[in-house]
Structure 1
Amino acid sequence: MVDAHQTFVIVGGGLAGAKAAETLRSEGFTGRVILICDERDHPYERPPLSKGYLLGKEERDSVFIHEPAWYAQAHIELHLGQPAVHLDPAGRTVRLGDGTLIAYDKLLLATGAEPRRLDIPGTGLAGVHHLRRLAHAERLRGVLASLGRESSAPGDTEESRGGAKRSGQLVIAGAGWIGLEVAAAARSYGAEVTVVEPAPTALHGILGPELGALFTDLHREHGVRFHFGARLTEIVGQDGMVLAVRTDDGEEHPAHDVLAAIGAAPRTALAEQAGLDLAEPGTGGGIAVDAALRTSDPYVYAAGDVAAADHPLLDTRIRVEHWANALNGGPAAARAMLGQDISYDRVPYFFSDQYDVGMEYSGYAPPGSYAQVVCRGDVAKREFVAFWLAADGRLLAGMNVNVWDVADTIQQLIRSGAPLEPAALADPDVPLASLLP
């Protein structure tokens, strides 16, 4: 039974927002819970958009966080397809795109992030894609299937192709996680793939050169072509369709479709309009929150991709764009809104699946923060664990590749802050749990 003694509003219908709403109810909150979603779909998870659903291994309904009927059963008031366009912290109201004004006692901003756009000629052509929303994945899934079948550019003839079938060409701008996962999916459909990346390896800014090269080799073995040290400068088209891309080093690559996978920007417009404190753009931007995920306004919280939190364990402000942060951050913010003593100190975690390689990464080791990388296991067979160590021997991050049931121990080692011997980390005969203090 819902009473109107308090109204908690959640802006953002992704995983963080939906899990926050669920937690409010599971923790016994009986006031109104209003969930504002700018998409018309019910809240869903995003990892399948570049993994199982994109690969055709999962059905559309599998991505949704709750059954549609759950929201009414839990007395969650849903506003689907309605963006929040104005936030008034002084009056504690939020206005929707249709003019509806909603008063709140406390508010959670879980507005997520949006794909960065290519600022080059040709981005308005029909074959230019982004991947962030379910509608994007639905469209891209059809595109990849089509590219895997015979495709022809204007002017192509059977003679010009030598009588052989030719798969469609996908060019991906960016060799980050989304770019590589889509590359793997595209190759599974049979499409030809070229990845253009300004860094010298795939995942260079995330894993560094040591492990970035491993993923580069993995994709090359599956037929992906890389063009490193370059950026797209133009997408060339004819009759509104993509023909090719050009790069800043004078190269041209044929293309039927182009995916922009150059990162995501936190959706801070509402917070900025409301005068909330933001994190510095150079550190990733986002809405600045404390360890309880509270913004500079005591009645407004933020969680998920958009939140740049003071992390108690890492002793820095960090914005994490991965699934686990939304999964855990939304509930943490909900509990903080209820007045519980919250210190959100989860070890950052993400996972990826590409071809026959599955991996989990725990921790935070940006370029320049670590002194060495130590591996245990067989790197050549891609069955190993990598450890990023600080100069004083502390474990900053660990990545297990096709090795399972070790992520929890890795996170405990990170959390301990204890110095570790590289030789012991590298020795597969030394149980990781034995290194815990």
Structure 2
Amino acid sequence: MSESATPRARLFDRGSWPEAQRVTQILRKETVGGVLLLVGAVVALVWANTPWSGAYEALREVRVGPAALHLDLSLATWAADGLLAIFFFVAGLEVKREFVAGDLRDPRRAAVPVAAAVGGVVVPALIYIAINLGDPAALSGWAIPTATDIAFALAVLAVIGHHLPSALRTFLLTLAVVDDLIAIVIIAVFYTRELLVGPLLLALLPLAVFAVLVQRRVRSWWLLLPLAATTWALVHASGIHATVAGVLLGFAVPVIRKHGEGPGLAEHFEHRFRPISAAVVVPVFAFFAAGVTVGGLGGLADSLLDPVALGIVLALVLGKIVGITGATYLVSRFTRAELHGDLAWTDVIGLAALGGIGFTVSLLIGDLAFGAGSESDEHAKIAILVGSLLAGLVATIILRIRNRVHRRICAEESVDSDHDGIPDVHQHEGETRG
């Protein structure tokens, strides 16, 4: 067969129809969560810059929990360490599902989002390090601009329009899943101040019992919830950030049934907990984490001139675009793949700009790097807000340029000539692949 007759590999192929439906459902829930996240962040930011800011700080510092177990924590700490464990539990479920039954199980389909996510971590980190190279204390914040907040990004997409083609939506979600996995590793490895082996080993016991029960499809909350809470408390006591417990619990849940057909328990838990994570956990965390005193335009300018803040803004806006787009381009060059259909590199740049919206995990890493309430942490929060807004603005401009093409692609993807509930493009491409 001649070289011209050999079909070239294509980037951003449409996945199967069930996968497209699943992605659409997830993104719909995350979009609602993103709007609520923005509401929580705006309320906190406005309140922290009013004459009643003292009440906001007092609310953040209210302590609740059993002192005997060293869990008399402030509400802000409970939001970061406790509630976010649910967020990371859902992230763990999603990561495992992608590697077991999703796009990431196929190395060829996984290559692009994995490379893009790695590029979107490495380049922003290098930009931040280059700007703060002379300050060892500031260098501890190198991981702040590496995170992508899928909920915030989807809230921006909801404003831009609902016409992003399914392949690009899948790419954005898969990239965010890999980004979450990298963030989990970074938090566990680089932001563990002191490791106590005893509590960590003890945490393996309730985690193992939890794993055995869910492998047997046990759903009883009165059994699973105490085991999960005990695992969380012991991981918290070990010195590792307690949200890692959520990830470990998520990894323990089976994606596919061992006996019989149908999905495993992971899908059931994801349906239950993703709405809680999107609509409650992330907005509450944003409310307690985003309240920073700006001090007017002068104070804002002074904060952004801090190398910590400058590094974060440039890394989020420029680093993500260069890292994600550059890595995707390199994959296309090495594999000799071309973009699918009417998609263009402008679309990749627009999605890369969306990847610069780092909020939830960025705020968490800022607290871990500099200590909540420190001057560097306050400047980091301002930079995360400004950088995320700028990244969202850049993405809006780029993707709006392509809006007409996206509308046409979405219209083609919705045609169902035989009225069987499956769009024609998915049937035709499935036949071609077969």
- TM-score normalised to the size of structure 1? 0.23
Structure ranking higher in helix proportion:
2
Structure ranking higher in strand proportion:
1
Q: Which has the higher contact order (CA 8 A, sep 6+)?
A: 2
- TM-score normalised to the size of structure 2? 0.23
